Structure 1
Amino acid sequence: MAGIMDSIRNLFSGGSTSKPPQAANEPDTYRDCLIYAEPMEEGGQWRLAGRIVKGDGEAAKEHKFIRADIFSNRNEVEAATLRKARQIIDEQGAALFK
């Protein structure tokens, strides 16, 4: 019941029905970067989103990305997030963190 009320409230208040990203359990390592799949739940589906981190501590650099791709299954969106992050790293290289 609360879900319906939240949807109605969001409809009239202009609020979004998407929830904040949820981090995957373990990051994936690719070319000295850590990839975190952080899909966003939207209306029973999942939007592709994640982070790419290079370095440790205060020297760490981070690149967040969100794509329009929507999936019905969390496992599928996490796998697609890892593929997309690897593609971003391959295409942009060091320029990704500038």
Structure 2
Amino acid sequence: MSFLKKLFGGGDEKADAGGDKVLGEESYKGFLIKAIHMPAGAEMQLAGTIEKEIGGELKTYKFVRADRMTSKEDLVVMALGKGRQIIDEQGEKIFS
């Protein structure tokens, strides 16, 4: 699968284990970042999850930001970017 197709979900949206509709995902520094579909009226709210297996257990951190947009592509880019920023700032401490 091409990088852009994977980044933007390639139209193959899926649900994760929590039932959230995943619009795009990316591996980053051993973490898995997922852009999540969160409707907010006619727009979508910026939201995502960060996952990592630690000690044989899958840990998940969910984030929601105030930003809203109408473009799925913009949402995916921004959610994955926000996930990278959280990982860079906090690392595994997000699961504490």
Taking structure 1 as the reference length, what is the TM-score of the superposition? 0.71
Misfit runs of 4+, over 3 Å: none
List aligned pairs for 1:1-98, cutoff 5 A.
21-24=20-23, 26-55=24-53, 59-98=57-96
SS at match of 1:27: strand
CA distance in 2 between partners of 1:42 and 1:80 (Å): 16
Work out whether residues 25 and 80 of structure 2, in 8 Å CA contact, stay in contact via their aligned partners in 1: no
CA deviation after TM superposition for structure 1 residue 30, in Å: 0.2
Work out whether residues 39 and 78 of structure 1, in 8 Å CA contact, stay in contact via their aligned partners in 2: no
| Alpha-carbon RMSD | 1.8
Work out whether residues 71 and 77 of structure 1, in 8 Å CA contact, stay in contact via their aligned partners in 2: yes
Q: Which amino acid aligns with 2:21?
A: Q
SS at match of 1:55: strand
Greater helix content? 1
| Residues 4-52 of structure 1: per-residue CA shift (max 9 Å, x gap) | xxxxxxxxxxxxxxxx95212x521001000110031112111000100
Q: Which has the larger radius of gyration?
A: 1
Question: Identity over the aligned pairs, expressed in percent?
Answer: 36
Aligned residues: 77
- Corresponding residue number in structure 2 for 1:11: none
Taking structure 2 as the reference length, what is the TM-score of the superposition? 0.72
Q: Which amino acid aligns with 1:94?
A: E
CA distance in 1 between partners of 2:73 and 2:42 (Å): 14
CA deviation after TM superposition for structure 1 residue 92, in Å: 0.5
Long gaps (5+) in structure 2? 1-18
